Structure 1
Amino acid sequence: MVDTQEKEMIFEPILEDGVFRFDCLSDDRNAAFPSLSFTNTKLRDTPILIHKVPSYIPTFQSLLGQQIVKLELPVGTSFYGTGEVSGQLERTGKRVFTWNTDAFGYGPETTSLYQSHPWVLAVLPNGEALGVLADTTRLCEIDLRTESRIQFTASASFPVITFGPFPSPTDVLISLSHAIGTVFMPPKWSLGYHQCRYSYMSDKRVREIATTFREKGIPCDVIWMDIDYMDGFRCFTFDKERFSDPKSLVKDLHHNGFKAIWMLDPGIKHEEGFFVYESGSKNNVWIQKADGTPFVGDVWPGPCVFPDFTQSKVRSWWANLVKDFISNGVDGIWNDMNEPAVFKVVSKTMPENNIHKGDEELGGCQSHSHYHNVYGLLMARSTFEGMKLADKNKRPFVLTRAGFISSQRYAATWTGDNLSTWEHLHMSISMVLQLGLSGQPVSGPDIGGFSGNATPKLFGRWMGLGAMFPFCRGHADADSLDHEPWSFGEECEEVCRLALKRRYRLILHIYTLFYMAHTRGTPVATPAFFADSKDNSLRTLESCFLLGPVLVSASTLQDQGSDRQLLLPKGIWLSFDFDDLHPDLPSLYLRGGSIIPLGPPIQHIGESNPSDDLTLLIALDENGRAEGSLFEDDGDGYGFTEGQYLLTHYIAELQSSVVTVRISKTEGLWKRPDRRLHVQLLIGEGAMLDTWGIDGELLQIVMPSEFEITKLTNTSKENRRTRLESVMPIPEMDVASGQKGTVSKIPVELKSGDWSLKVIPWFGGRIVSMAHLPSG
């Protein structure tokens, strides 16, 4: 079919107010493949009774079997999203192809990575936002090279869904979540630090790694096993010599507060007598070639066959293998190579004319070109369901390399095989943010870079940044030097320790953000412009991001630390730290009007207890008010879906020089734990006032005079400056050179009027404690 004339697409409202489906023709609407992005394809296919017209209507052309869709938006519109992509944050001028690809060593110009998200988030000049989804699983070109124009090109025909315009980008992401689902609720332990390598070659080495973390006081919750734990890379097996007793290994890890995650690839060794191959062949689960015989392609074990996850019977077969695998003490599963990757072929994957006998609700029997981009999604779904079969009282944790828009329902992801370079450090921020803006909030890079050898400065800087990402994992290639936090000398080790202690102090806040994301569809990590989408100057900032109301500002330049000047969004932004100010750690700011919960420094999530002291960090807005929330539950399981949780909403108000902190409302059936409450009120330049009380009771802080506040903030500012000058940044040197820096650890006692301050330069140059002096 050739129709070069541009025509407006026809539309109908679906899902909810502000969401429209567009098709080329009514016949196309009826013939469209089922949606694999929507949680329920009926939501996309069923119109609703809303008598409104969309603000922007796409046009289409049909050319040689391709459908070309264009959407013109106002001049000054900024583009984001497009899923797992490299390169710049603001996407204008870029072109992306959705075709899941094993993209080892990708760069900023790589056009196809491991996941496909045919989705664009457009932020209009007035700050409103519009989301656009090309609902096709096929290879799709997303062309943003023309300013203020979105263009999708893919095999005909496919519907286009628009969300909005809505008042803010967050409103668009919430609406998107109503279509594609919200993120799985992660077990709390999965928000800790994860240590991985390709590979830890024996259970002895794994135990050494675990022991070293605890001996050195570096927080960590998870150790990962890459493919070398297997017997000849055969999935669902263990090497009989190097990992002879996985249950015993996991028992030891659990005893020391660690979880264990193990890799499973889709390529099953084509080998007579191998129980997985025999079982799969008996149940006819393999993807077939066009001639009807099983496709065989080379991966790590050599010749492999591949499960056809488009069939429910195959997903059930795999899920039961996973269920049995979990009995070895497996806490989480890593799905890798599931684009699917195939060696020794130019395409890096299987032939597009391979056959999948898909279920009717997925689209029926189709070629691989139709199901390629959702293969990883369906594998992750099957793995997730297998883990739930194994233990319904535990939340599955699955990490997937390949995925499609909506994968967040089943799995976390990472940004693939990156490089140990400053460019990839910088790019990791935009990549994590783009995934979040495309509906996948649980993501992070391989901290330190996967391929190549990080320097101490690069690794320390990356750990400081990576500790603030939603998913936090260090991972390195087999050909690289050791990349554990202690591998780069004492200065780098100390920076890693400080960075991870920060993360664990913030776990209560991060976990609360994920609860909100799971239940409401709100994002976790967002670009700085989410603080003010009308401010065009924020839209291209790439070295900072938001975790809720916390602004994280990191330097990704080798010769520049975190003490550089930063363009902050409008409003009140108060700096804070955790007695850990360091030029190689990001700067942290809390938005005025916000309260965030903080926990004590711990070595792993299992050390925490509901009765631990709770800290509320507060930054008042221009009206002297602030509010924030804390979500608490068992940290695992699904009791929270039946009311077994406590969601507390706190409020702070300034009236007549007194700040009152109280609970405004609570949700859930849990009784409030008996615990002390520490309130820390930021007053500027890192200085803070604090008081102690009992959680649930009203607390008050009497504000000093403006003159005293000025003296206190000036003193804190000067001591923060002194601290940064006294701490030597990690040197950029060869790992083996043995150079060492020095730091100052001299505490300083200060007095200002009726207030006594204790400032310790080594611990961040801020007011550690503040007490009113007795008269006389």
Structure 2
Amino acid sequence: MITNTELEYKGNLYPNQIIDFKKDTDKFYFTTQNGVILELTVLRNSALRFRYATEHVFEPDFSYAIDKNASRGYDKLEVEETKTEYLVETSKLKVLVDKKTMRIQISDRDGNIINEDELGFHWEENYTYGGNTVKMSKITQTGESFYGMGDKATHTNLKGKRVNNWVTDQYAYGKDQDPLYKAIPFYIGLHHNKAYGIFFDNTFRSYFDFSHERRNTTSFWADGGEMNYYFFYGPDIARVVRSYTDLTGTPELPPLWALGYHQSKWSYYPEKRVKDLAAKFRKLNIPCDAIYLDIDYMDGFRCFTWDKTRFPDPKAMIDELYEDGFKTVVMIDPGIKVDKDYWVYQEARDKDYFCKRADGPYLRGKVWPGDCNFPDFTNPEVREWWAELYKGLIVEDGVHAVWNDMNEPAVMEVPTKTAPLDVRHDYDGHPCSHRKAHNVYGMQMVRATYEGVKKYVYPKRPFVITRAAYAGAQRFSSTWTGDNVATWEHLWIANVQVQRMCMSGMSFVGSDIGGFAEQPSGELFARWIQLGVFHPFCRVHSSGDHGDQEPWSFDTEVTNIVRKFIEIRYQLLPYLYTMFWKYVKERMPMLKSLVYFDQEDQQTHFRTDEFIFGEHILVCPIQEPNAKGRRMYIPRGKWHNFWTGEVVEGGMEKWVVADIDKIPLFIKEGAIIPKYPVQQYVGEKQIDQLTLDVYYKSGVENSTVYEDAEEGYDYTKGRYSVRNFKLNGKDKELIVQQFKDGTYITSYETFKINLIGLPFKIASIEVDNEPVSLKEVRLNGNNSIEISKNFTELHITGK
């Protein structure tokens, strides 16, 4: 073991003896003889922040990741000094700071070590760029597993992996290829059934090694900036993810149509083709809520313009599509064509809004329009200007939503695929180079887009999409996993990426269903749709150079399967909307890997395929050709097979039959699943009745249904409806209680309750202590009953 009295080892510098300590409310400052200061902040009882300065100087404390509304506060905070260490205690954690080395050890109240430094903080001067490469190494605990880190195309459990964060345009990336489009430097550690999280809030290129180089060491480091990380304690993964998501924020509720099925391609044009596409969806009765226009709608790829040859009257077309239930989503990229006759370029140049190289000239790079300059979205003035540019598209042309692509930023014909590192940025008044701003460039672009869309679609809610992101981008935008490939391997990659993104605080995510590059077979397309309808963002998108990828592009069998699964998604919209509300309100990820769902079960720690959709639906995609079923792990508890009604006991692997027209789907016993009738688009039908599929359980289970006007902001003033259901099943009895909140009045007056898996024949039914005639119940194996939506208690007894 290296002692920190050796101030330099292999070029690295280390803190030495602590010579000064002071406390300032929720902050503790420890200063070493050689000028290192540790600032330890207690955010909450189980959330801490560690910042390290060298040469007695902290950098300005500024972050794009942190939500200004993040929770703060604790109920206990004590500090004690001994001969060898300082001990900081909250009601959940004990933090030891070693006086000789400044190393940290964090344990729970019972003394169980949760996380501890190995070498701890150390640094190395960066002779090329100045400043320091900052490093942290931790001891890997026995049996420790690691999760999170955003859209990494690798195994869910990161043990033994090394990854890095540098948002990159990785067209047709492969399994284990790294880095990709997003930089989310947050991971979850799990050992001895205790989970914690670390968020390294540093926007320089960063690296994470999960016992890859050294078996007993976990480390993270960055090419510049500060060693600045947050620590969250569980002990359950759910609490860790909730704490991180609270710190970095959640989005507002989207319009319900944003959760429908979306169709995209590079590119749909001219106008006639777009209209024909829309007409075919309606003719074939395949639900669809949005059609996307890629870069070919523009005049020479100039953002905020239209090619009037292809689209002579955009507003008339968009209005016509809207009449038939389609929302129009357009792409906007960051590269602005160098063209003195182009008004956006001229405005930005006049206002000096473009990014500059170190010696003064504008950053110039090739993208789709040719030579482009790039706005500096880290400048608040530029963001304000950019937001205003959307007025024409939205107010005048009627566009409903915006999709930001190429915002890493992607630059063509250069080896780095992006801007040079010497480019200068405002960084909200903290001037810096592209080394620091690169990972947040796309995030700040979509932030500006979000502000503009929100302003101009008002009083409706905004919906925007981004490809590039840094931690906290979920406050502004949905996302997708980038330019994937139409292969079975990429179906597997999409599954793990979306699970990982949800566990990393960014739940509004999906993949390009069917693959962006290359051509899927009909079977692969059907299997991908079966997965994609259970992702929060559901969109088919393809590069268009290999053929069509619409639901009817294969054969009749595939078309029918695709329709069937899109219809299932539309039936589940109230369930999906409730998932989103819980994500916003309770910071609960919309999809849950099995380890999140049941971390006590060691079998879940290395599962990649199965996941929980919301809280009650278990999904497992078929990920190989010619499959008639698959082996999958059923988590502990009892689960109802969605297709057959069979109740299976979990905690083991099982063979599940699933021919081409099915996917393994199970419903947790006791669940109450809300369903709407199938609609061709959100709002097509007035909902006259809410169906509740009630799955019997011996015991207690809770379910929730959230509803509101599906658009607008009345829900923020209490105009929402929350129905909390408590199911309690016994041998010959089933009781369902309803607890209501909110002032929104739903359009329906009754529930149709489908009783699934009842182990007894119904003898009597009471609603709010009033008997109900059994004539109202079909007792032919498909037990259903219609009752008022305002019931308080449904009581069913058996023979």
Shorter-chain TM-score tier: 0.7 to 0.9
Matched residues, number: 696
Please point out which of 238, 241, 249 is paired with 2:309. 241
SS at match of 1:539: helix
Instruction: State the one-letter code of the partner of 1:125.
Output: H
**In 2 relative to 1, CA 672–253 (structure 1 residues): closer, same or farther, beyond 3 Å?**
closer
Distance 2:545 2:706 in 1: 42
Match of 2:47 among 19, 35, 41: 19
- 1:587 corresponds to which residue? 664
Distance 2:524 2:735 in 1: 44
Which of 606, 609, 631 aligns to 1:540? It is 606
**Is the Cα contact below 8 Å between 2:697 and 2:728 reproduced in 1?**
no
Higher percent of residues as strand: 2
Q: Match of 2:724?
A: 649
Per-residue CA deviations over 1:378-431 (Å, capped at 9, x if unaligned) read 000000000122133121111101110111000111010000000001111100
Q: 1:344 to 1:430 in 2, by over 3 A?
A: same
Would the alpha carbon gap of residues 63 and 43 (structure 1) be closer, same or farther in structure 2, given more than 3 Å must change?
farther
Conservation of the 8 A alpha-carbon contact between 2:196 and 2:231: yes
Q: Distance in 2 between matches of 1:191 and 1:230?
A: 26
CA displacement 1:606-660 (0-9 Å, x = unmatched): 2243x4221222234442x222111111111211111111111122223562323
Partner letter of residue 621 of structure 2?
A
Match among 123, 134, 143 for residue 62 of structure 1: 123
Offset at 1:531?
A: 2.3
Gaps of 5+ in 2: 1-6, 17-36, 79-88, 96-105, 108-114, 126-131, 646-656, 760-780
Q: CA RMSD for the aligned pairs?
A: 2.5
Q: 1:95 to 1:39 in 2, by over 3 A?
A: same
In the TM superposition, what is the alpha-carbon distance from 1:90 to its structure 2 partner? 1.1
Q: How big is the shift at 1:95?
A: 1.5
Give, in angstroms, the shift of residue 601 of structure 1. 1.4
* Whole-Å separation in 2 of the counterparts to 1:108 and 1:80: 17
Equivalents in 2 of 1:110, 1:258: separation in Å? 36
Which of the pair is proportionally richer in helix? 1
Assess, with a 3 A threshold, how the Cα gap between structure 1 residues 47 and 34 changes in structure 2: closer, same or farther: farther
% identity of equivalent residues: 34
Alpha carbons 2:400, 2:457 under 8 Å: kept = no
Aligned to 1:614: 690
SS at match of 1:60: strand
Tell me what 1:567 maps to. 633
Q: Distance in 1 between matches of 2:65 and 2:563?
A: 40
Deviations 1:256-314 (A, max 9, x none): 11101000000000001100011111111000011112111110000101000111110
**2: CA distance, partners of 1:149 / 1:451:** 38
Structure-1 separation of matches of 2:378 and 2:672: 45
- 1:100 equivalent in structure 2: 167
Q: Secondary structure at the match of 1:425?
A: helix
- Aligned match for 2:789, one of 688, 695, 700: 695
Aligned partners of 1:274 and 1:116: how far apart in 2?
A: 33
Shift in CA distance, 264/148, structure 1 to aligned 2, threshold 3 Å? farther
Task: After TM superposition, give the deviation of residue 174 of structure 1 in Å.
Answer: 1.1
Q: Which residue of 1 aligns with 2:32?
A: none
State the alpha-carbon separation in 2 of the partners of residues 570 and 223 from structure 1: 41
Q: Which moved more, 1:20-29 or 1:96-105?
A: 20-29
1:308-457 equivalences in 2 (<5 Å): 308-327=376-395, 328-360=397-429, 364-457=430-523
- The aligned amino acid for 1:395 is R
C-alpha contact (below 8 Å) 1:95/1:143 kept by paired residues: yes
| Distance of 2:319 and 2:626 partners within structure 1 | 45
Rounded to whole Å, the distance in 1 between the matches of 2:74 and 2:385 is 33
Contact 2:137 2:218 in 1 (8 A): yes
Task: Give 1:87's match in structure 2, choosing from 139, 154, 175.
Answer: 154
C-alpha displacement at 1:543, in angstroms?
A: 1.8
Counterpart CA distance in 1 for 2:782 and 2:467 is 43
Taking the aligned partners of 1:333 and 1:168, their CA distance within structure 2 comes to 37
What amino acid is the match of 2:299? D
> Normalized against structure 1, the TM-score is what?
0.86
Give the Cα separation in 2 of the matches to 1:31 and 1:100.
24
Tell me which residue corresponds to 1:74: 141
Q: 1:659 aligns with which of 712, 734, 737?
A: 734
2:279 to 208, 211, 216: 211
* Structure 2 residue 293 is matched with structure 1 residue 199: no
Contact 1:648 1:666 in 2 (8 A): yes
- Aligned CA distance change for structure 1 residues 122 and 619 (closer, same or farther; 3 Å): farther
Whether 1:483 and 2:581 are equivalent positions in the alignment is no
Instruction: Pick closer, same or farther for the CA change 1:703–1:205 going to 2, 3 Å.
Output: farther
SS of residue in 2 equivalent to 1:515? helix
Q: Identify which of 664, 677, 682 aligns with 2:751.
A: 677
Partner residue, 1:629: 704
The whole-number CA distance in structure 1 between the counterparts of 2:661 and 2:230 is: 42
Whether contact under 8 Å (1:100, 1:116) holds in the other structure is yes
The 3 A distance-change label for structure 1 pair 71 and 13 is same
Q: Quote the Cα distance in structure 2 between the aligned partners of 1:560 and 1:62.
A: 52
Asked if structure 2 preserves the Cα contact closer than 8 Å seen for 1:592 and 1:620, the reply is: yes
Q: How far, CA to CA, are the matches of 2:571 and 2:57 in structure 1?
A: 51
Which whole-Å CA distance do the structure 2 matches of 1:510 and 1:138 have between them? 36
Question: What SS does structure 2 have at the residue aligned with 1:430?
Answer: helix
TM-score, structure 2 length as denominator?
A: 0.83
Distance 2:40 2:674 in 1: 44
1:511 aligned onto 2:605: no
Q: Which residue of 2 aligns with 1:601?
A: 678
CA contact (8 A) 1:619 1:682 kept: yes
- Return the alpha-carbon distance in structure 2 between the equivalents of residues 487 and 223 of structure 1: 16
Q: 1:582 to 1:690 in 2, by over 3 A?
A: farther
Match of 1:639 in 2: 714
1:324–1:390: 8 Å Cα contact kept in structure 2?
Answer: no
Amino acid in the other structure paired with 1:350: A
Change (3 A) 1:500 1:149: farther
Partner amino acid for 1:205? R
Measure the CA separation in 2 of the matches of 1:73 and 1:138: 24
Moved more, 644-653 or 251-260: 644-653
Alpha-carbon distance between aligned partners in 2 of 1:325 and 1:578, rounded to the nearest angstrom:
49
Q: 1:583 to 1:689 in 2, by over 3 A?
A: farther
* Counterpart amino acid of residue 678 in structure 1: K
Deviation by residue 1:341-397 (Cα, 9 ceiling, x = unmatched): 01111110111001112322xxx1111111000000000000000012213312111
Structure 1 residues 15 and 443: alpha-carbon distance in aligned structure 2, compared to 1, 3 A threshold = same
- For 1:147-203, what per-residue CA distance to the aligned partner results, in whole angstroms no more than 9, with x for missing partners? 564311113442343443213211111111221111332111000000000001211
- Matches of 2:268 and 2:607, distance apart in 1: 38
Identify which of 120, 124, 141 aligns with 2:191. Answer: 124
8 A Cα contact 2:49 2:230, kept in partner:
yes
Q: 1:41 to 1:588 in 2, by over 3 A?
A: closer
Task: Specify the alignment match of 2:772 in structure 1.
Answer: none
Query: Which amino acid in 1 is paired with 2:336?
Result: I
Give the aligned partner of residue 174 of structure 1: 242
Larger RCO: 1 or 2 (CA < 8 Å, sep 6+): 1
> Structure 1 residues 161 and 47, CA, compared in 2 at 3 Å: closer, same or farther?
farther
Change (3 A) 1:496 1:149: farther
| Contact 1:659/1:701 (<8 A) preserved | yes
